């Protein structure tokens, strides 16, 4: 057993590996379209993003979908950048520390799937209706 003093928090690469494993586990009807979305893992959301979303606490945002949902895309759209799912390591780790009943991989998968659902056109209300994660 290693000494807890030698432990380190999961890094950006670890969170990305967990997210990619969750992508690989998606069912076939969703997997291909979900893999078209870029995945970015950062420590925190930027101050500009927090300001844009009117979020005061940088720990208050674990993930974000940035793009045009498939239900709103048109063949005439000229994308300026790829659709992207952002995962924010420190807020995810903070939530994980609060949720002692969930493995980190399950939390990362949850955040990823929530953001991918936005890519498929689901609203937060749609997602909340079937995913009572906070309970």
Q: Which domains can be identified in the chain, with CATH numbers?
A: 10-69+84-130 (3.30.2010.20)
The strand ranges marked E within the chain are 38-42, 63-66, 84-88
Q: Give the tokens for residue 127.
A: 């997602």
In 3D space, the residue among 80, 78, 65, 77 whose CA is nearest the CA of residue 119 turns out to be 65
Residue 126, strand partner residues = none
Contacts of 79 (CB under 8 A, 6+ apart): 67, 68
Q: What is the pLDDT of residue 126?
A: 79
- 86 by Cβ neighbours in 10 Å (0-12 / 13-18 / 19+) ranks as buried
pTM for the whole thing?
A: 0.87
How do residues 35-90 score in pLDDT, each as one tens digit? 889 999 999 999 999 999 999 999 999 999 999 888 887 777 676 788 999 999 99
């Amino acid at each position: 057993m290693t000494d807890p003093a030698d432990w380190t928090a999961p890094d950006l690469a670890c969170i990305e590996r967990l997210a990619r494993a969750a992508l690989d586990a998606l069912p076939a009807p969703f997997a291909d379209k979900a893999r078209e979305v870029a995945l970015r893992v950062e420590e925190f959301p930027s101050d500009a993003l927090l300001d844009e979303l009117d979020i005061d606490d940088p720990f208050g945002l674990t993930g974000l979908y940035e793009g045009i949902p498939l239900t709103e895309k048109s063949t005439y759209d000229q994308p300026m950048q790829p659709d992207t799912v952002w995962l924010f390591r420190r807020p995810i780790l903070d939530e994980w520390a609060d949720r002692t009943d969930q493995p980190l991989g399950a939390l990362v998968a949850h955040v990823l799937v929530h953001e991918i659902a936005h890519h498929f056109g689901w609203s937060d209300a749609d997602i909340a209706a079937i995913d009572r994660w906070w309970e």
